[in-house]
Structure 1
Amino acid sequence: MFNTKPIRKVAIIGTGVIGASWAAQFLAKGLDVVATDVAPDAEASLRRFVKAAWPALERLGLAPGASQSRLTFCRDLAAAVAGAHLVQENGPERLDFKQQLYKQLDELLHPDVIIASSSSGIKMSDIQSGAALHPERCVIGHPFNPPHLIPLVEVVGGTRTSEQTIQRAIAFYKSIGKKAIRLNKEMPGHVANRLQAALAREVYYLVAEDVLSAADVDDALSWGPGLRWGIMGNMLLNHLAGGAGGIEHAMHQLGGPMAAWWKTLGSPDMTPEFQRKLVDSVHAEVGARSIEALAAERDELLIGLIELRRRSEAVDPHKVAAT
């Protein structure tokens, strides 16, 4: 029977960059959050992150009851997950680690509790082999960094994940304002990271081949297609590119030239020399700017874009329906 019990308490396993950002997101949506991590300074680091993220979350809108005081930290795994309705796992990207962790969680948790992994590329079919009792409640819920700002969550089950778990996970993520998409098939790296990887391959190739610098390729992306991608995806933009003829005309006119370009795309090897060239070009672009300053610039622009898109959706019912 499909479990419709609301998810009000979330356990966070792993409080690094992704886990801490998830914690901030869940707290902003009025949920109770219990976090656990074995790192010595994990609790202090987590609370600093949440405090720093809170002004942005306030600007985007807090849910009734949202409070940083609803965050609890517990080093003991069993105590941390006790009473949780969903577990968001953010452990190291190692299959052996995740399989052992899922074995522990499977034995600790009630069968109704969803175990969602933030894994950026490992297939759930491989992870859930560690959960012999109830593999059907294990699912990928992969966010995009930083999760407290970027709405995307990729949801995909493994071969033994139940349809009920997938639907419940999607409903939960949507209920907290995420743009949850369902992947019908498992793919290494899921979808968004594969798209990034395809683009990164050509970016790295162009820089390494001295076609242009890291600064110029970043400008080419962020001031060209990147501006459009912040509004619409590739397929809708292709539809617009066809003018009155739409996607049909775009495929007829642009399909051939694009296929010809594909044949010239680079396939670079990640040799130490290749990586050093990329690193040096990036540092030349960064200059004296700190990681913190760059992240602050990114977040401010992200918030502005999210606010703009929200206003657009508020006046366009077709966009709301599409979500």
Structure 2
Amino acid sequence: MPVIVDIRTFAAIGAGVIGSGWVARALAHGLDVLAWDPAPGAEKQLRENLANAWPALERVGLRAGASQARLRFVDTLAACVADADFIQESAPERAELKRALHEQIGLSARPDALISSSTSGLLPTDFYARTAHPERCVVGHPFNPVYLLPLVEVLGGERTAPAALEAAQQVYRALGMRPLHVRKEVPGFIADRLLEALWREALHLVNDGVATTGEIDDAIRFGAGIRWSFMGSFLSYTLAGGDAGMRHFMQQFGPALELPWTRLVAPQLSAELIERVVDGSTQQLGTRSIRQLERYRDDCITSVLAAIHAAKARHGLRADE
């Protein structure tokens, strides 16, 4: 199956938070970008999101040819994808909407163009069911902010060609990302399933009056969150087992898994719980705007990434380890 790996033109279908992030990353890597979104005011919002993200991208370093001027917003889906080498769809998480979009994309795209979806949990075998040439269609699930966080989960459907999966991973690596191949089609993939478990427990703690939203965020950002930025759960727990490693950890702490600490099943989203979560989050925002906090977040992420990169170099580790 012939597909383009050395891409020059990137098409973004959908210009919300995730779509804008893809546009910013592609432009920062020196690509021409076509974008389409039928929502009123979508182009204005996209350009504002892009302007807000650009200072962080300048800090991490722009590729040759990177320019916001290489973005062109078009009026139709067909015009967006017709000449694109790589197409990234970031429409709302509605299966029927994605099926309809990919039916149109498949008819309008070049035969050698790779097609990817940013879905965070829908299964590609389903929403690519009506598209032409499903063998070239994959999922590339990113994480917000897309223009800074390197992780992208990549998986295919039943009719996706192995060559398309490999080509998509090559494209994402060229965009400075760390592709993670999801071996099976499972709802929520890998990362969001882990995040969902934490989110459910956090809602129970708020619902039961154990902690506020701010206190729960503090429990993460001053504890495991710092460690997670450079070392995942399994390796962290291996170190917690001392010289005997994971085997000792499992023997020492494994029995606690049988204790009823966690709830796992989500609490009922009552009006009272929603108000507690909204009120707590509003207090956390204080007088700062979302835009201000996005810039603070981006500054923190770029600083953490730079610190991790420097530490890896000092310890003889590759940047992608």
TM-score category of the 2 structures, normalised to the smaller one: over 0.9
CA distance in 2, matches of 1:244, 1:47: 53
User: The residue matched to 1:63 in structure 2 has which SS?
Assistant: coil
Equivalent in the alignment of 1:117 = 117
- More displaced stretch, 287-296 vs 108-117: 287-296
Deviations, residues 271-311 of structure 1 (Å, cap 9, x unaligned): 22222222223223333332223222222111111111222
What pairs up with 1:1-323 in 2 under 5 angstroms?
Answer: 1=1, 3=3, 5-131=5-131, 133-262=132-261, 267-320=266-319, 322=321
Letter in 2 for 1:285: Q
1:181 deviation in Å? 0.4
User: The residue matched to 1:303 in structure 2 has which SS?
Assistant: helix
CA contact (8 A) 1:138 1:165 kept: yes
Taking structure 2 as the reference length, the TM-score comes to 0.94
CA contact (8 A) 1:30 1:64 kept: yes
Letter in 1 for 2:21: S
CA contact (8 A) 1:116 1:140 kept: yes
CA contact (8 A) 2:116 2:139 kept: yes
- More displaced stretch, 206-215 vs 23-32: 206-215
Letter in 2 for 1:275: I
CA contact (8 A) 2:26 2:33 kept: yes
Letter in 1 for 2:243: A
CA contact (8 A) 2:84 2:113 kept: yes
CA distance in 2, matches of 1:220, 1:126: 38
1:267 deviation in Å? 4.1
By relative contact order (CA 8 Å, sep 6+), the higher-ranking structure is 2
CA contact (8 A) 1:120 1:142 kept: yes
User: The residue matched to 1:21 in structure 2 has which SS?
Assistant: helix
Q: How has the CA–CA distance of structure 1 residues 264 and 117 changed in structure 2, closer, same or farther, with 3 Å as cutoff?
A: closer
Letter in 2 for 1:72: R
1:5 deviation in Å? 4.3
Deviations, residues 31-62 of structure 1 (Å, cap 9, x unaligned): 11111111232222222222221111111011
CA distance in 1, matches of 2:87, 2:165: 14
Q: How has the CA–CA distance of structure 1 residues 94 and 242 changed in structure 2, closer, same or farther, with 3 Å as cutoff?
A: same
User: The residue matched to 1:202 in structure 2 has which SS?
Assistant: helix
CA contact (8 A) 1:205 1:266 kept: no
Aligned residues: CA RMSD:
1.8
1:80 deviation in Å? 1.5
CA contact (8 A) 1:154 1:182 kept: yes
CA contact (8 A) 1:10 1:32 kept: yes
1:86 deviation in Å? 0.7
User: The residue matched to 1:11 in structure 2 has which SS?
Assistant: strand
Residues matched between the structures, number: 321
CA distance in 2, matches of 1:289, 1:241: 38
In percent, how many aligned pairs have the same letter? 42
Consecutive unaligned residues of structure 2, counting only runs of 5 or more, are: none
CA distance in 1, matches of 2:91, 2:265: 33
CA contact (8 A) 1:3 1:112 kept: yes
CA distance in 2, matches of 1:37, 1:263: 41
1:313 deviation in Å? 3.2
CA distance in 2, matches of 1:13, 1:263: 39
Consecutive unaligned residues of structure 1, counting only runs of 5 or more, are: none
